Amino acid sequence: MRLLEVSDLEAGYGDVQVLRSVSLHVEEGEIVAIFGSNGSGKSTFLKVLIGTLKPWGGTVKFMERHVEDLPPEERVKLGIALAAEGRKLFLGMTVEENLLLGAWVKKEKAKENLERVYSYFPELYEKRRELAGDLSGGQQQMLSIGRALMSEPKLLMIDELSLGLAPAVVDRLANILTRIREEEGISMLIVEQEVSLALDISDRAYVFDLGEVVDEGRSEDLLRRDSIRKTYLSVL
């Protein structure tokens, strides 16, 4: 089934248009990556999908239902979750308190979901009583993803997966995400600056430039495409 279907999306801030006729879809169980230069509208696109920014035009369908007019809470209830850019954690609260904030839609299953998140990220269990602000960057990213998982999403969106993290941490995160998809069939939409990582981790990818989709395809095909290699992988 087509889990997410976005058609001809237009959006911006004030009277400045950012997204221009963006169409994109995610199938059930798929990992889809978005990459593109700074300011190309990737975060803006995720904001429209989670509902914190209203689109000017176009449609967003989730599980065949129009969601453009739903507030973010309703979208989370339907199964969309966002681990936002900058991670947006409550740094003065503990790790476990941050995770429980993500559980508001599934209160009755909070304990079960805590255990599930801790099984993917054992270091969060070890640090569960420490302040989020005392975690390393990698652990904060795990916490941000873990908090998103607490609502049992069908579509997990992550903005800037690897930003500021050491390569070994990024490898681990990528492995864990692959495992989560295998074990639970959760679909993912991942915004990632590091193009080789974006293409490694995903089944398909979209390239954004100046608010438009300028290329798309299966990730293995994009990896071999000369234009992509020259522009984004610095291969001559």
Ligand X SMILES: Nc1ncnc2c1ncn2[C@@H]1O[C@H](COP(=O)(O)OP(=O)(O)OP(=O)(O)O)[C@@H](O)[C@H]1O
User: Exactly one of 44, 140, 144, 151 binds ligand X (CB under 6 A); which one?
Assistant: 44
Six token digits for residue 168: 């070994």
Q: How far is the CB of 20 from Mg ion (least distance, A)?
A: 17
Applying CB under 6 A, the site for ligand X has a residue count of 9
Question: Which CB, 47 or 154, lies closer to Mg ion?
Answer: 47
Residue closer to Mg ion (CB basis): 113 or 162: 162
When asked if residue 43 is in the footprint of Mg ion (CB under 5 A), the reply is yes
- CA-nearest of 98, 114, 105 to 73 is 105
DSSP type of residue 37: S
SS3 category, 182: helix
Residue 48's alpha-carbon distances to 53, 60, 76, 86, 216, in angstroms, are 5, 9, 13, 17, 20
Residue 129: alpha-carbon gap to chain centroid: 26
What's the min distance (Å) between Cβ of 174 and ligand X? 19
Q: Pick the piece of the chain touching ligand X (CB under 6 A) from 32-40, 132-140, 166-174, 196-204.
A: 32-40
- Report which of 34, 38, 37, 28 is spatially closest to residue 9, judged by C-alpha positions: 34
Is position 40 an interface residue for ligand X (rule: CB under 6 A)? yes
Among 18, 82, 100, 150, binds ligand X (CB under 6 A): 18
CB closer to ligand X out of 76 and 207: 207
Nearer to ligand X among residue 13 and residue 56 (C-beta): 13
- Contact partners, residue 52, CB within 8 Å, separation at least 6: 72
Residues that bind Mg ion (CB under 5 A): 42-43, 85
Residues that bind ligand X (CB under 6 A): 13, 18, 38-44
